[in-house]
Amino acid sequence: MTGLRRLGALLLLLVPVWLSGEGSDAPSDGHVRFVDVTAKAKIDFVHASRKSPEKYMMETFGSGVAWIDYDNDGFVDLYFVNGAPGTSNALYHNNHDGTFTDVTKRAGVAGPAGYKTGVAVGDYDNDGFLDLYVTAYGPNALYRNNGDGTFTDVTATAGVAGGPREWSTSAGFFDFDHDGRLDLFVVNYLDYRLDENPYCGFRKEGYRMYCNPTSFDGTADRLFHNNGDGTFTDVSRQAGIANPAGKGLGVTFCDFDRDGNTDIYVANDTVRNFLYRNNGDGTFRDVAYGAGVGFDPNGKPQAGMGVDCADVDGDGFPDIFVTNFSEELNSLYRNRGDGTFEDISSKGDLRSSYLALGFGTKLFDVDNDGDLDIYVTNGHVIDNIKLYRPNLAYAQKDLLYENVGGTFRDISARGGAALQVERVGRGLAVADFDNDGSLDVVISSVGRPPVLLKNESTPKGNWILIRARGHKSNSFGLGATVRIETSEGRQVAEINNVASYLSSNDVRLHFGLGKATRIQRLEVMWPSGIRQVLTDVAVNQILVIDEEATK
Amino acid sequence: MRRVLLLVGAVACVAGAPARLAAVQADQATRSLQERLARVGADVLSGTDHMAEAIAELKAIIAIDPRLADAHLLLGVAYRSVGSPDLTGEATAELLQALALDPRSIPARYYLARLYIDVGRPKRAREELETALAQMPGQPQFLALLGEAERQLGNPARSLELNRQVLQGDESFAEARYYLGLAMYDLGRRDEAIQEFERVVRSGVQKPEVLLSLGTAYVQAGRLEAAIETLDTATTLAPSRADIRIELARAYRSKRLLAKAEEQLTLAEPNAAPALASTADQQIESDFYQELGLVKLQAHQLAAAAKAFRKVLDIDPNHGPANRALAEVYLLQGLYARALECAIRAEKAGFPLPDEKRKLIAERAGAKGKGRE
């Protein structure tokens, strides 16, 4: 343990990071703009999918990406998951000057040997350093952060490898039982066997296609309870989340009913989605049917891929956004606050997603105007889809929706050149990598280099970035609920880095504040139950909040 | 139906009278839910015409208690009854969930096996049925379905054995007889298969599957009047089944009633190919174009016939019958080199052209090869 936890008396630590000036290039049209800075950032990672004539489904699956400040220097670093067996994942250190350095070898986080898929970030041992969990087709891997720039593979000791032939996808750390330690939820996909890979598609040369998941059964997800001694116990069955019907790809955590317990939403591919309500006694109950978040409005299951939850309409309750297959709308479920949701997917411009096949996604305030916008990266799963459906494409453009009073306007065409590029988008993660107050985006692409998109939107509103330091709660405050009041209104959000597709976002919580120049009241409800209130807080800063010692 | 329901809120009461009241209310709610489940269960298992309402009711029941295994089982059965490809995966998912909640649920395992048979996964069906038979040895429905799984896995003789065994115990068991007929058909014993299918139909079973099998066997046997009558009945039972209409078109074509054949094919025409067409969908598409090509060939519409056969070959370039038919079309069009190419492919696939045509194509192609085509 470091001395961080002994700083309990410290109410808050202010780390002001003053704006260093806006980007020099004014947006050509509109005010939201993302700029591809991958090359400038010296990120040379290339995802390898190793496509084979056998068309193994993993080859088109893509991989995740994570933001992780592994060395606690205040700047988020980047972790890329690779694909094919024999390839290495990559950890890039943020040099604080807009560039990154590949430190994978020293860090020892190359990933499992087989097909790698997703990544989760969390400090499972509460030592103040973020750890990494990497999912795969086959055993997953847990890397404990040693705090010195290196990691140790502790999978076997921890007991979180999962099944030897399980196809794990997204994963996330959260404290479901309020014991102050992060537990681990792992989403599993199909019961898929390489030696029983069927032929799908036309027999004509070049027409073989990746199979439809309906050709396979699902597999149950896993919930690992953190025992606090470096080991975990698989509690999936007793917790009630071991449903073999699932073909899970995405997961996110929110307290949907605001009862103080973190719930789980799982996006499943071609079967209904799950909403596991946390009963507060170590068990969950799948309430998707009653809540109305399992199907499309016609009662048809969709092909869920990525997912996020957050309050998009400002009513204080987290809503759910799910990316779906081409020729299905992405789903936006508005939380009515009474345990039920309304599907508002066809409202506003969200219908523009109809032909796109959505993967990674995030609800975040792109322009710091005080509400949450939507970013989606797209790409088909069938690389030869044009042979079958000339109106569809493997590589597709991203989608960006601006929140306009709770409905959404498609502003992709005005989002800058980076949004006009077609890619086979998969993982997507969001963080403010240069600490300038604007949230940036990193996207992984099948068989291609990733893209780092710097948010250069102007003019932008004021902001605050909150880094929570739990003491009784988990060390990064995951699961804490933060409410703020400004002259612009109220906002509520949870500290939750688990969303999107196979990916993990920054653990710091960002609020766009619009024109507000002070935060009149900032309240943190920690997972421990401790409520902490700050008043008259300055804007445009990274605010470190230590959990108070007592209620 | 055996599980105790704890309604949301019913457990929040403190000790004493309120607790007893809550217990009574919970018990009443449980009974009410069980009654609803029993009612909708009867509807689903009898194949109600109001399956959409039954599905809505089952979803409402699951919304109240998501851990009712029987509700998931019935929902899976209901989804399967709808027969929509969109819901097949969901049907499997519900049955798997029913089994996860109640691993000893024999009905869940049985319907899951049926679904696996429906979607062409006989190996998984066999696994489920063997597990079920370990729980209930000798159960005739499982044995019959296991026989069908074996047939689909390429063991018709095993199916014959299993279904005969079942029929010895109950010779009125129509499903076993149907599977017996399918096994006989696969074994090349077509006329015996027809007799078994006819017995099934005579017993009062009017199912599209059975009528399609019987109609197909009639076409094979050249009993075209009977085939048309049987398949026509099947289309009235399942008007949207393209495979039945394609077979009916085949029967009409065999009787040289080409207009009627085309009429059926128009009704069977596949929509634009879905992005992730299943193997079964692709088979139907291939069968459709093959039959269309044969109708056009018989009508001497050679360009249209060639176009249809090429569609079949897009799906499978080594399709024997399509290559053979296209070779004939090219021969008639005087495109000898192409005809030769198709004839060779057809022969490789085990569908050779008649000797005289092969020779003719080879001669003409050779002669042309010396010059130019």
Span A486-520, pLDDT tens digits:
999 999 999 999 999 999 999 999 999 999 999 99
CB A172 within 8 A of CB A119: no
Which residues does residue A400 pair with via DSSP β-bridges, in sequence order?
A: A375
Could you identify the residue written with the tokens 């700050």? A534
Cα-flanking dihedrals φ and ψ of residue B353, to 5°?
Answer: -75, 160
Chain B residue nearest residue A247, CA to CA: B93
Chain B touched by A245 (CB under 8 Å): yes
Residues of chain B with C-beta less than 8 angstroms from the C-beta of A271: 89-90, 93
C-alpha A52/C-alpha A25 separation (Å) is 43
- B80 vs A contacts (CB less than 8 Å): none
- What is the distance between the alpha carbons of residues B54 and B326, in angstroms, rounded to a whole number? 49
- B275 vs A326: CB contact, 8 Å cut-off? yes
**pLDDT value, residue B19:** 58
Residue A545 pLDDT: 97
Chain B residue numbers touching A244 (CB-CB < 8 A):
96-97, 99-100
CA dist., res. A486 & res. A522, Å (int): 9
Predicted local distance difference test score (pLDDT) of residue A142: 98
Structure token digits, residue A71 = 């060395």
The secondary element (H helix, E strand) that includes residue A410 is: strand A407-410
Compute the nearest-CA separation of B222 from chain A (Å).
32
- CB–CB contact A202 B316 (8 Å): yes
Q: Six-digit token pair at A363?
A: 């609800």
The encoded tokens of residue A483 equal: 């409410």
Residues 6+ apart with CB under 8 A from B293: B305, B306, B307, B308, B309, B311, B312, B322, B325, B326, B329
Report the pLDDT value the prediction gives residue A550, as an integer from 0 to 100: 64
Q: Minimal CA–CA distance to B82: which of B117, B56, B110, B121? A: B56
Given this model, what pLDDT does residue B343 score? 96
Nearest to A385 among B87, B124, B275 (CB): B275
- The chain A residue lying nearest B118, using CA atoms, is A215
CB-based contact (8 Å) between B97 and chain A? yes
In A77-218, at which residue ranges do the beta strands (DSSP E only) sit? 77-80, 90-94, 100-102, 116-122, 131-136, 141-145, 151-153, 168-174, 183-188
In chain A, % helix, strand, coil (3-state, to 5) comes to: 10, 35, 55
Residues in chain B closer than 8 A to A326 (CB atoms): 275
> For A214, which DSSP code?
G
A326–B282 C-beta distance less than 8 A: no
* Residues of chain B found within 8 Å of residue A285, distances taken between Cβ atoms: 66-67
How many Cα neighbours within 13 Å face the side chain of A498? 32
Which residue, among A448, A388, A391, A359, has the nearest Cα to A83 in the 3D structure? A448
Peptide bond into A459 cis (omega under 30): yes
What's the confidence (pLDDT) of residue B273? 55
CB within 8 Å: A245 and B124: no
Give which of A215, A273, A324, A386 to mutate to test B binding, by max B Cβ within 10 Å: A215
Query: How far away is chain A from the Cα of B314, in angstroms, using its nearest Cα?
Result: 6
Cα separation of B265 and B252, whole Å?
Answer: 11
Q: What is the pTM of this model?
A: 0.90
Dihedral pair phi/psi, residue A116, rounded to 5°: -100, 150
CA distance A356 to chain B (A): 13
The reply to whether residue B314 touches residue A385, judged by beta carbons under 8 angstroms, is: no
pLDDT at A25: 34
Give the closest-approach CA distance of A217 to chain B in angstroms.
8
Q: Which of A165, A184, A54 is nearest to A119 (CA)?
A: A184
Question: Of the candidates A203, A209, A244, which has its C-beta nearest B317's C-beta?
Answer: A203
> Residues of A with CB below 8 A from B276's CB?
209, 212, 214, 382
CB contact under 8 A, B276 and A209: yes
Residues of B in contact with A324 (CB under 8 A): none
Give tens-digit pLDDT for B92-124. 999 999 999 999 999 999 999 999 999 889 999
Cβ-contact A340, A290 below 8 angstroms: yes
Please enumerate in sequence order all residues whose Cβ is within 8 A of that of A16, keeping only pairs 6 or more positions apart, or say none.
A538, A540, A541, A542
**Cβ-nearest to B90 among A301, A326, A385:** A301
Residue B180 CB-density burial (10 A; 0-12 exposed, 13-18 middle, 19+ buried): buried
* C-alpha distance from A283 to closest chain B C-alpha (Å): 13
The one-digit pLDDT tens for each residue of chain B (373 residues) are 333 323 223 333 334 455 566 666 667 777 789 999 999 999 999 988 899 999 999 999 999 999 999 999 999 999 999 888 778 899 999 999 999 999 999 999 999 999 999 988 999 999 999 999 999 999 999 999 999 999 999 999 999 999 999 999 999 999 999 999 999 999 999 999 999 999 999 999 999 999 999 999 999 999 999 999 999 999 999 999 999 999 999 999 999 999 999 999 999 988 755 545 677 888 899 999 999 999 999 999 999 999 999 999 999 999 999 999 999 999 999 999 999 999 999 999 999 999 999 999 999 988 755 544 4
Distance in angstroms (rounded) separating the CA atoms of residues B48 and B287: 32
**Regions in chain A scoring below 50 on pLDDT:** 1-29
Pair A157, A93: CB distance under 8 Å: no
Q: Cβ contacts of residue A6 below 8 Å, gap of 6+?
A: none
Nearest-angstrom CA–CA distance, B95 and B76:
5
Q: Which helix (H) or strand (E) holds A494?
A: strand A489-494
CA distance B30 to A57: 44
Tell me the pLDDT of chain A averaged across its residues. 93
**A313 touches A406 (CB < 8 A):** yes
Distance CA B7, CA B28 (A): 11
- The answer to whether A301 faces chain B, any CB pair under 8 Å, is yes
Contacts of A204 in chain B (CB under 8 A): 313-317
How close A246 gets to chain B, by Cα (Å)? 7
Rounded Cα distance, B141 and A281, in Å: 43
Q: In chain A, count of helices (H) and strands (E)?
A: 5, 36
User: Between B62, B90, B315, which is nearest A203 by CB?
Assistant: B315
Tokens of B118: 């429906």
Q: Which of residues 52-81 of B touch A (CB under 8 A)?
A: 55-56, 59-60, 62-64, 66-67
How confident is the model at residue A235, as a pLDDT?
98
CB A7 within 8 A of CB A131: no
Measured in degrees and rounded to the nearest 5, phi and psi for residue B119 equal -95, 15
Residue A459 CB neighbours (<10 A): 10
In whole angstroms, give the CA distance from residue A87 to residue A470. Answer: 36
Closest CA in chain B for residue A246: B93
Query: Measured between beta carbons, which residues in chain A are less than 8 angstroms from residue B317?
Result: 203-205
Assess: ipTM above 0.95: no
Stated as kind and residue range, the H or E segment containing A104 is helix A104-107
Of A203, A215, A382, the CB nearest to B318: A203
Decide if B100 and A244 are in contact by the 8 Å CB cutoff.
yes
What does the buried/exposed string (b/e) look like for A488-509 if buried means 16 or more CB atoms within 10 Å of the residue's CB?
beebbbbbbbbbbbbbbbbbbb
- Position A104, amino acid: T
CA distance B260 to B240: 17
In angstroms, the CA A445 to CA A426 distance is 6
Give the pLDDT of residue B86: 78
Cβ–Cβ contact A387 with B under 8 A: no
| One-letter identity of residue A386 | K
In chain B, residues with a C-beta closer than 8 Å to the C-beta of A259 are none
Nearest by CB to B275, from A214, A287, A392: name it.
A392
Residue A299 with chain B: CB contacts under 8 Å: 55-56, 59
Alpha helices for chain B (secondary structure H): 17-45, 51-64, 69-82, 85-101, 106-118, 122-135, 140-152, 156-169, 174-186, 190-202, 208-221, 224-237, 242-254, 258-268, 279-298, 302-315, 320-333, 336-348, 355-370
Q: Nearest C-alpha of chain A: how many angstroms from B41?
A: 19
| Rounded Cα gap, residues A296 and A283, in angstroms | 27
